């Protein structure tokens, strides 16, 4: 059974900002050896999205595994976004399947590509539910 998900762009204009906050919080917690999900929960709960902490943790972890590199974030402030952040936003927007297909085809661990697809679609659905 195939199910289509509406793009995040139809949810709220603030969604991109919340997603970037979550990605940067996740990266910071990982880099500093702190528990990731509590850090994510704190960041997301400020936007009433706290319930998404496990979904974002799974998505980010699978993103790194599938891409074969650490997820990079813009460390100079919020003026720009990294290539990974841009790609994540595109993946979650879901308006085009080309980014998703490319990530799955380029996956460093092809066995996890289906799990990545499920994590992506689940996170997308949860974001729409919160909006």
Distance of alpha carbon 63 from alpha carbon 23, whole angstroms:
11
Neighbours of 28 (CB within 10 A): 15
The pTM score is 0.81
Please state the rounded mean pLDDT for residues 67-94: 83
Q: How large a percentage of the chain has pLDDT more than 70? A: 76
Q: Specify whether the CB–CB gap between 65 and 112 falls below 8 A.
A: yes
> Residue 92 pLDDT more than 60?
yes
Residue boundaries of the structural domains of the chain: 11-130
Please give the pLDDT value at position 10: 40
């Amino acid at each position: 059974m195939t199910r289509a998900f509406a793009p995040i762009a139809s949810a709220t204009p603030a969604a991109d900002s919340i997603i970037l906050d979550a990605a940067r919080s996740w990266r910071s917690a990982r880099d500093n050896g702190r528990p990731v999900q509590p850090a994510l929960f704190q960041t997301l709960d400020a936007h009433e999205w706290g319930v998404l902490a496990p979904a974002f943790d799974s998505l980010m972890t699978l993103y790194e595994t599938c891409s074969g590199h650490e997820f990079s974030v813009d460390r100079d402030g919020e003026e720009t976004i990294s290539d990974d952040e841009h790609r994540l936003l595109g993946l979650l927007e879901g308006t085009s399947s080309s980014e998703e297909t490319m990530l799955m085809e380029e996956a460093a661990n092809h066995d996890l590509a289906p799990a990545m697809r499920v994590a992506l679609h689940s996170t997308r659905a949860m974001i729409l539910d919160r909006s």
